Amino acid sequence: MKLLLSILLAFSSIAAPVTLQWDPVIDPSVTGYKLYFGPGTRAYTNSVSVPGKLNTTNTISNLPAGVYFFAVTSVAGSLESDFSNEVTWTNKPPAPGTLRIVWSGSTNSSGLVTPIASVNPGPSFVVSATMTGPWGTVSRSGSTDSSGDFSFRGKAATRPFIASATVTKLSFDPLISSSQKFD
């Protein structure tokens, strides 16, 4: 039985969570999985039991900066399969002054939600922002307020949807992008 493992999502931060997903095993005797990870290829120092044949994702949190190697096995009673393919993930601490987009939303009386994206590059910066969603694309440019904040809104839409935002801090590199699902 062969397992295919993939990394779904990785955030760059000092204690970033990483979510891993694998294909379910068809064998009816499988009762769960075991996710292994560690600092070297096939040198796993940690494992997590994942009960349930259909439970094929797991999130590992609070990993310090570094390179991590992951593999999964299927479990059937006291038997364990060979390791799946191995995936690698690098958890890098954020660079000083890194911008982050913070998402929020407001819901009106009709149940429509308006996504709001905010950044704080610092006071006296000019930024340009776009947000894309089911309504299309909206753009806004302007200066940060005295607290260094800049917020912009999409348009109201029916849940679920995904909104994506991009912010460019003029006279600063890089370009900042983020997406958020509103359920």
Tens digit of pLDDT for each residue in 17-43? Answer: 788 888 889 899 999 999 999 999 999
> Tens digits of per-residue pLDDT, 52-67?
989 888 888 778 778 8
> Tens digits of per-residue pLDDT, 105-154?
767 777 777 777 777 776 667 777 777 778 788 887 877 777 777 777 77
At residue 75 the predicted structure's pLDDT band, cuts being 50, 70 and 90, is very high
d(CA 182, CA 149): 23
Fold of the 5-91 domain: Immunoglobulin-like (2.60.40)
pLDDT value for 181? 63
pLDDT value for 15? 45
Domain covering 102-182 in this structure, CATH number: 2.60.40.10
* All structural domains of the chain with their residue ranges: 5-91, 102-182
pLDDT value for 100? 66
Whether 102-182 and 5-91 are alike in CATH topology: the answer is yes
pLDDT above 50 (res 89): yes
pLDDT value for 178? 66
Model-level pTM greater than 0.85?
no
